[in-house]
Every structure is written in C-alpha cells, then in structure tokens.
Structure 1
Amino acid sequence: MASDNGVDSDCMTITRFLIDQQRSCPGATGSLTLLLNQLMTAVKAIASAVKRAGIANLYGIAGSQNTTGDEQKKLDVLANDLFINMLSTCGQACMLISEENEDPVIVPEENRGKYIVTFDPLDGSSNIDCLVSIGSIWGIYEKKTPGPPTKEDVLRPGTEMVSAGYALYGSGTMVVMSTGCGLHGFTLDPNIGDFVLTHRDMFIKNRGKIYSTNEGYEKYWDQKVTNYVHSIKYPEDEKKSPYGARYIGSMVADVHRTFLYGGIFLYPANTKSPNGKLRLLYESNPMAFMMEQAGGRATDGEKRVMEIEPKGIHERCPVFMGSTYDVDDCMKFLTA
C-alpha cells in the first residue's frame, strides 16, 4: 500500500524476497541470501559511481589492459574492486573469478565460505564515456570438493550453477536474478535505497520481432549466419514483416531488451574471433542460465551453452540466445 508520500509501506524488497524463497527451500541455510545481499551492496555502490562518473572524474582509460586484452576504464577498476572487496569479506565465498583478473582471487581462509562467484564487474564498458547503458553480470557455483579452492572447482558446466544475475545501470538501476526458481527483476528505489520487486516471474515470448547483433562483423561471419540474418531481414513470405535491428553493444542491455520484448541476441564466432568473443564463465553461462529460467533457449550454434565443459576460466564461446522459436529457426540455418 502506498502512503501519501508515494512510499509503498508493504514493498517486496530483494532481501524479503530471498528470505521467502529460503523458507520454501528445504535444507537452505541462508548463506546464499547473505552472499547475494553483499553483492547487492556492491551493485548499489557501482550504480552510484556510474551516476557520478563525470563529476568524480571516473571517465576515461585507467592506462592498462585486463586479462582478455580489453582496455580498462577507470570505472572497470572501481567496479572490480567493489565486487572483490564486498564478496571476499562476507564470509560466504571461497573463490572469485573476474574478467579483470588473470588468475582466480582466493578468499583468505578466515573469511572463506562455500560459494564461487564468477563475474564481469562492468559489461559494455566501451560505452561508459557516451552514457550508454552498461551492467554487471555474475554466476554462482557451490564448491563441491574439500580443501582449498582451485581453478578446477569452477571449470564446470553451467548446469551446476546455483544462481545467476545481472545489474543494468541506465535511466534507473535494475537487478534481474534467478536462484533456480524462475527469473525476477528488482528496481532500485531511491526513496528507500533498496531493490524492490517490479518484474515477478519474467517469461520471454516464444517469438519476437527483434534481432540484436553487431552487423559490422558480417564480413567475417560464416555464410550460414549471414543467411539466417538475411532471412529475417528479407522474409520470403510477403505477409511477414522484417525483424527490427537493435544493438547497443552492452550484453546486459541487449539481453535485457530481449527478455522483455522477445527475439534473438547473437554473437557468433567469426574469422577474427574463431572461438567467439563472449566469455563462458561470467557472461554466456549466467545469461544462458537466466534465459532458460525465463523459458528461452541459449546455444553456441551446436549445443546448449550450459552443457559446455570449460577448459579455462577466461574461455570464450559463440552465443545465440532468446525466444525459443527464433533460436530454433536460427539453428536450422546453422546445422543445415
């Protein structure tokens, strides 16, 4: 119920939502809830930094490259530090895998928990300086083996993930997240400084009218990918309308729109990037986990993204994800 000042006196905050889910899950200890709450603190701090970037001189390049060869922006470094500091001190994580760090970050033994968190602290950072929507992506695994954490503990398929989510920093700040019980969206309410449930049980349409890809790389695509994109731009059936093209260049923003409106997001392999560009552990797998929770589909062009057995923590893979019928149509071309 909203009061006279516009504040809902019975709002479903993200903490309250997670506690309700915890109660309905036999054997739950609350440790994942604690981890996610600390992660939300990092997200709120990043959202604040993004809004103040111009004033606080946080635009521009930090002067170095990350482990995958991308130039680090100042906000990249800040976001990465926030994720690491928040997650390594909450007592629930044992190892962190970041796009910005070549090696795993091992949590000190006195603060060590049972979860492994993989994350891209600031997705789409090439768009920072021009105020385009950017985001954060994360995936969470539970450590299965005794002893100190090692790389092998996280080199597992996405089917073993226990939770995944992303934060979108745009006109507002939104978190979309799943703990394996559907996909739900929470919007940051500046009145109370917390995330409030605004999109319960997000479900993607079976078919959309939008495709999202960087067509600037068409020159390097496999002909099968070119043929598929041509088929939705120039449908043979005159009664069918061409698909609209939308591409932001931030995976979080492009996939978020795909969740809401349906369609397909694709980042195929090409002759310049034969293994694709998106990283499996902290981009493709978390998004694939959420896409399937929303009733969609995610493939690398041959098999389900979440069934890929990773061989390295910064491994890349092609991605085709979105509405089930759209991905099915795409696969007909890729496997022809």
Structure 2
Amino acid sequence: MSDPDTTDPSDPESITATVDAVVDVVARTAPEVREGLPGRRVAAEGQNPSGETQMAADVFADDLLCDRLGAVSGVGTYASEEREATVDVGSGVSVCVDPLDGSSNLEPNAAMGTIVAVYEGPLPATGHDIRAAAYVLYGPITTMVVARGDSVTEYVIRDGGDYDVLTRDVRLPDDPTVYGFGGRVPNWVEPFKEFAADVESDPSMKLRYGGAMIGDVNQVLTYGGIFAYPTLSHAPESKLRTQFEGYPVGFIVEAAGGASSDGHQSLLDVDPGDLHARTPVYVGNQRLIDDLESRFEK
C-alpha cells in the first residue's frame, strides 16, 4: 500500500503526476494479467457485489491491481467492481477499477479488458470528478487507450510491460459504420427498440458485439458508430456500473469527440448513487446519440 507522502492531493500538478503513475502501473501490470489468465478460466467461490459469479481470473486481476495501484504515491482509495467496499491505501485520488471486463469471454477465448478511472475526491464520485480514464484491451495484441482532459491516446503494450504510442489524438470517425447493443431484445424498452430497428436497417451499419463492453467500445472508437447497454423493461437502471464503467467510458468517448448518454443526459451528469449503482450506457457519434435521446423524449 502507499507510503506516507507530502503530495497535495488537490494540487493539479500532483494529480497529473499521480495519473501518469497510475497509467504506467496499469500498462506494466497488463502483461501479468494476461499471462495469468490460463488456468483461471473457472468460477471462483464467491459472487461480486452485483451478484455475478466471479471467475478465478477476476479475483486474480483484482488482487494484483489493488497491490500495484495501492502502492502508487498519491492514490488514497482503491475500489473495484469485485469488492463490496473501498480500500484505504493512503492519501490522494480515488481509483476505480473493473479488473477484467468481459471475463465471461474467458471460456470461449474472446476479447476482454481492464477499465480504470481516476477521480479527485472521495467515492462515490460524480462524473465531473473524473480526471483520467483508461482501458486495456486484451485482443490479438494488447493495447491501452487513455483519456486525459480532451486528449485520447492509444498505446501498444509489449510483453515485458513497455508501451509505445500507437495513435495520438484518437477521434471518432465522422461517418459511423458499427453498432453493438447489449441485453435481451425482448427486454428492450420501446424507444430503444425503435432506435435499434432504424440503425439495423441502415446498410452502412454493421453489427459488432462481442460480449465485452470495452471491446465493443473500442470498435466504436476505431470505426465510428454506437455501443449501447440500454434501459431494460425489468431493470431501468440496466446492467453497467456507473463508477466503474459508465463514467470512464463516457469520459473517453466524449474526449475523443463523441457523445455519451443514459438516454436523457451525458453519462458524466448521471447521479452517482452508491458505489455499485448502475446506469444505462449509450456512447458513440454525436448524431446517433442525439437521435437516441430524441426517442426517449417522445
């Protein structure tokens, strides 16, 4: 865990230095997370706070990231989708982690990722407290996308943990071509069904849905389009966690020139609720998000 330090957690330069250190730790830990996946494609004994069955890999990645991020000077709190409560690791910013987004993809050996958000202030934080967000994508190669302010950078991570810039100033293409929608179709609410039908009828749009949110969001960043885990008839709050998924993904997509929404407003404006609160998530090109929100206003 963090050693005592004299950094001022409210000082912008201190926060910037801490963000840089967090990003470095996440990048250098990613190969170890990836290397630890074989042999951990089985269910663990417990469930996470959302009632989902944990994989052994979820627990492994969470423990590793807690140890590594908890040792960063300037990090005061560590929180994980896999833990009920926050962990006090020192003094400074709060770091929220989804250690292994899409871990259900372990069995079929499909893509998954790690999501990290850095907040200034205690948890649960608001979307406007976020100072940086990042995700690692464990695909055919390991990449990391980092948003700081209104700048988004993509890195490639080498096996030894070194990482290099792959793309500077990542921006959503102006002409969207992909979409991915989560949840069971019978559980979609009518406004979203109408929107989805129009998107699916557009010959320029191609379905890209892989079961790991961060992989689907990366498709949207690469090709332009929209990802949604929508409002559901039996669960208005939907599935994805605000602190761990909604805020960071919204922050990244907006920084890349796109838009985010819960169906009515930017994801960054959503009430945080408790630590494990959920929110519908819609992210993509501005015109698609505008069209979507117009359906919910009718």
TM over 0.5: yes
SS at match of 1:130: coil
User: 1:257, 1:242 → 2: CA distance?
Assistant: 15
- Cα 1:334/1:206, change in 2 over 3 Å: farther
For 2:124, the equivalent position in structure 1 comes to 155
For 2:180, the equivalent position in structure 1 comes to 212
For 1:91, the equivalent position in structure 2 comes to 73
TM-score (norm 2): 0.91
2:245 aligned to which of 263, 283, 291? 283
For 1:169, the equivalent position in structure 2 comes to 138
2:48 aligned to which of 66, 73, 79? 66
Determine if the alignment matches structure 1 residue 226 to structure 2 residue 193: yes
User: 1:27, 1:141 → 2: CA distance?
Assistant: 12
2:206 aligned to which of 233, 244, 249? 244
The answer to whether the 8 A contact 2:113-2:212 is kept is yes
1:313 aligned to which of 275, 279, 284? 275
Q: Shift of residue 44 of structure 1?
A: 2.7
Larger radius of gyration: 1
Q: Shift of residue 242 of structure 1?
A: 5.2
The answer to whether the 8 A contact 1:41-1:86 is kept is no
The worse-fitting range, judged by mean Cα deviation, of 293-302 and 81-90 is 81-90
AA aligned to 2:179 is Y
For 1:35, the equivalent position in structure 2 comes to 22
Q: Shift of residue 205 of structure 1?
A: 1.9
Q: What CA deviation, in whole Å up to 9, does each residue of 1:67-120 have, x standing for no partner?
A: 11111111101000011111112222111111000111111xxxx131100110
AA aligned to 2:185 is E
User: 1:40, 1:92 → 2: CA distance?
Assistant: 18
1:324 aligned to which of 283, 286, 290? 286
SS at match of 2:66: helix
The 5-angstrom pairing of residues 86-125 of structure 1 reads: 86-107=68-89, 112-125=90-103
User: 2:53, 2:198 → 1: CA distance?
Assistant: 36
AA aligned to 1:231 is D
Determine if the alignment matches structure 1 residue 183 to structure 2 residue 170: no
Identity of matched residues, %: 28
- Cα 1:233/1:40, change in 2 over 3 Å: closer
For 2:6, the equivalent position in structure 1 comes to none
Q: Shift of residue 285 of structure 1?
A: 0.3
User: 1:328, 1:134 → 2: CA distance?
Assistant: 29
- Cα 1:218/1:27, change in 2 over 3 Å: closer
RMSD after superposition: 1.6
SS at match of 2:214: helix
The answer to whether the 8 A contact 1:35-1:92 is kept is no
Q: What CA deviation, in whole Å up to 9, does each residue of 1:203-239 have, x standing for no partner?
A: 002341221013x61111111111111112235xxxx
The answer to whether the 8 A contact 1:34-1:92 is kept is no
The answer to whether the 8 A contact 1:206-1:324 is kept is no
2:104 aligned to which of 98, 121, 126? 126
Q: Unaligned stretches of 5+ in structure 2?
A: 1-10
Q: Shift of residue 309 of structure 1?
A: 2.2
Q: Unaligned stretches of 5+ in structure 1?
A: 1-25, 144-152, 236-240
TM-score (norm 1): 0.81
AA aligned to 1:271 is S
AA aligned to 1:117 is V
AA aligned to 1:278 is L
User: 2:41, 2:187 → 1: CA distance?
Assistant: 32
2:33 aligned to which of 39, 42, 46? 46
